[in-house]
Amino acid sequence: MNREIKFLNICLVLLLQFLCSSLVFAQNETLIAKRSKVKVLAEYPHSRLSYTQGLFFHNGVMYESCGQYGHSNFKIVDYKTGKVLRQWNFKRKYFLEGACAFGDNVYILTWQEKMCFVYSLPPVKRVTDNDFKQIGVATYKTEGWGITTDGKELIMSDGSYNLYFLDPQSFYPRRTLRVTIDGKPLYYINELEYIEGKIWANVYTSDYIVIIDPQSGVVERIINCEGILPDNLKSSGTDVLNGIAYNPEDGSIYITGKYWPRLYKISY
């Protein structure tokens, strides 16, 4: 081997070592989430009686699941007026949590009952009792908090730092995603919404929404919603920020809270 070839081989080895060490460093480097302040584009009335758990659009119609034992219900809402168009009440023994639509079905979680109710939800603007029929019950081993879908799987939270990607037919967890924020586990992940390839989530007891990468589990952005509901609209029963709804028909995003009198259309 002549000197030139030997020198080139040594340079190639050194280059490969440098690239490998750089890759390891990049993998170990903590990704710091970007920070944004919420921007209110419009506001609408919302029922103070709604302990909002799940909020979503299906074929341009807003649906809402509400919790509390003895007061749990699922309803269709005219979001521009706050008027409840249809409401289905559940038995006192159930505490409803998050809900989402997958295909022509709706999945409604319960908190500690470890049951997910599955109902038919046809692609029509006016859903009647005959349309909204229970077609099954799925079970799970943890608590139910929030649920959304990426169009292929259901994604569920249980208040921990884990998200569970579930088979829509069997409800079997295909994979578990550990969520981190600035390199640390993020607890109290609550209501979920899948928006343009990312998972949006309320963080329970906080005024923050996080945007999560569904592959790595890393929180890429934190949206600060502090002060979005002014003090003069709060009452003794006003609870925490909760509820994220994305309308794919126009790309709009809406948020509210438990027993909040307002629904907000937002950006960041």
Q: What is the pLDDT of residues 212-262, one digit of tens each?
A: 999 999 999 999 999 999 999 999 999 999 999 999 999 999 999 999 999
Domain 32-267: CATH architecture, name and number where available:
6 Propeller (2.120)
Band of the pLDDT at 131, cuts 50, 70, 90?
confident
CB within 8 A of 120, min separation 6: which ones? 104, 105, 106, 131, 132, 133, 135
Q: Which of the residue ranges 122-131, 174-183, 201-210, 231-240 would you say has the lowest mean pLDDT? A: 122-131
Domain boundaries, the chain: 32-267
Percent of the chain with pLDDT over 90: 83
- The sign of the CA dihedral 226, 101, 122, 72 is negative
Cα 111 to Cα 191: distance, rounded to the nearest angstrom: 12
Question: What integer pLDDT is reported at residue 30 of this predicted model?
Answer: 76
Angle at 189 between CA 182 and CA 161, to 5 degrees: 60
Report yes or no: 88 and 94 within 8 Å, Cβ to Cβ. no
Cα 107 to Cα 127: distance, rounded to the nearest angstrom: 16
Report yes or no: 82 and 62 within 8 Å, Cβ to Cβ. no
Q: Which of the residue ranges 123-137, 183-197, 240-254 would you say has the lowest mean pLDDT? A: 123-137
